[in-house]
A and B are shown apart, each in its own frame.
Chain A
Amino acid sequence: NAGVTQTPKFQVLKTGQSMTLQCAQDMNHEYMSWYRQDPGMGLRLIHYSVGAGITDQGEVPNGYNVSRSTTEDFPLRLLSAAPSQTSVYFCASRSNRRRGGYNEQFFGPGTRLTVL
């Protein structure tokens, strides 16, 4: 299993540009989510999905869109990039089946985004 994969690893955008961060998992996990990580702050949830065709907003959803057309893929779209979106973005997935009372969450390697 490749686990959770993310592309690209690095990206530089100009203010106003749009782009899509890709995320894929091969573990057949129902739950997928996007987080951003900024210096001095904990990981913050942007959007999440509990299954194909179902998405919901997290703590900081403004400026981002998501869709979940397949179980494997969960892309994150920046519609009009702003400097405040400079951050490291992590995708994560987990099963909805619990083992021993919990279900482990797996993170991707991250995408480092800079918006000029």
Chain B
Amino acid sequence: KNQVEQSPQSLIILEGKNCTLQCNYTVSPFSNLRWYKQDTGRGPVSLTIMTFSENTKSNRRYTATLDADTKQSSLHITASQLSDSASYICVVSAHGGSQGNLIFGKGTKLSVKP
């Protein structure tokens, strides 16, 4: 069964610190992996999308890694800011093109404290 597992479920860090969020998946055949940021009361917004051939991708202070062999991805946030407080959702797309081929993780809730 296609699944996406995220850890930790929640995380509290101090402003300015770094953190890493994990995503493990068992989706096959793999097409791409996406990280979304969801602020409270808002819709998810795409941070990065990675295909099979991409190992690392950065978007400002966010760096995503992908290991297609171990089926693991991480999202590293550098020098966290209060505005980074949000839920981060990992989504894996399976080949086929159908909308039903997007498998969502439950998300990691990050709280950045001053």
Considering the complex, give the chain B residue whose CB is closest to the CB of A31. B99
Interface size for chain B: under 10, 10 to 19, 20 to 34, or 35 or more residues?
20 to 34
| Other-chain contact of B106, A42, A56, A100 (Cβ < 8 Å) | A42
Any B CB within 8 A of the CB of A75: no
A106 to B45, CA, bound (A): 7
Are the CB atoms of A43 and B89 closer together than 8 Å? Answer: yes
Any A CB within 8 A of the CB of B97: yes
Among B32, B42, B43, B89, chain A packs the most CB atoms within 10 A around the CB of B43
What's the A-B contact tally at a CB cutoff of 8 Å? 58
Are the CB atoms of A107 and B51 closer together than 8 Å? Answer: no
Instruction: Please report A residues at the B interface, Cβ cutoff 8 Å.
Output: 4, 31, 33, 40-45, 48, 50, 56, 58-59, 90, 92, 96, 100-102, 104-110
Q: A41-B106, A56-B98 are in contact. List 16 more A-B contacts (CB 8 A).
A: A40-B106, A42-B107, A43-B44, A43-B89, A44-B104, A45-B102, A50-B98, A56-B100, A101-B32, A102-B31, A105-B34, A107-B45, A108-B43, A109-B43, A110-B41, A110-B43
